[in-house]
């Protein structure tokens, strides 16, 4: 039980670090809360809520992976390196594609309730 509590403590530290230092994650979290509020305000079905929640957590998780990879690359190559820039751009593109997908899913679900 002590190891489990310690693991949760490490995870909480990582989340706190992200919330303090990562602007994009904070923006995404704000959007996630807005979407969550909207999905409970509108009469969405359980299946729609599940799809929205899965989409939200997928985008937030990918952003966290992006943060980890960026920090790791900054640690390994503190000076500017072209390959590091390409890897960071690719990670940002992954998050962008997931975000576009989330917007499409959100529109598909919310459109009938709004219009």
Per residue in 43-92, pLDDT (tens digit) is 999 999 999 999 999 999 999 999 999 999 999 998 888 999 999 999 99
* pLDDT at residue 78, rounded to an integer: 87
CA-CA distance, 113 to 115, in Å (whole number)?
A: 6
Instruction: Compute the average pLDDT of residues 85-114.
Output: 97
- Closest by CA position to 18, among listed 53, 77, 68, 74: 68
Name the pLDDT band for 96 (thresholds 50, 70, 90). very high
pLDDT over 90 (residue 102) = yes
Q: What percent of the chain has pLDDT over 70?
A: 100
Q: How many CA atoms lie within 13 A of 82 on its CB side?
A: 0
Task: Supply the mean pLDDT for the chain.
Answer: 96
pLDDT value at position 99?
97
Q: What is the pLDDT of residue 55?
A: 98
Angle at 59 between CA 65 and CA 107, to 5 degrees: 165
The CATH number of domain 23-114, selected from 3.30.230.10, 1.10.287.3610, 3.40.190.10, 3.40.225.10: 1.10.287.3610
């Amino acid at each position: 039980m002590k190891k489990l509590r310690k693991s949760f403590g490490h995870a909480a530290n990582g989340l706190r670090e992200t919330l303090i230092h990562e602007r994009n994650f904070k923006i995404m979290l704000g959007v996630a809360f807005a979407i969550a509020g909207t999905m409970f305000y509108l009469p969405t079905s359980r299946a729609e809520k599940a799809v929205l929640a899965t989409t939200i957590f997928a985008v937030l998780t990918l952003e966290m992976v992006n943060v980890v990879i960026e920090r790791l690359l900054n640690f390994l190559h503190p000076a500017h390196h072209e390959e590091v820039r390409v890897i960071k751009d690719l990670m940002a593109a992954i998050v962008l594609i997931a975000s576009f997908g989330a917007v499409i899913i959100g529109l598909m679900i919310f459109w009938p309730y709004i219009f």
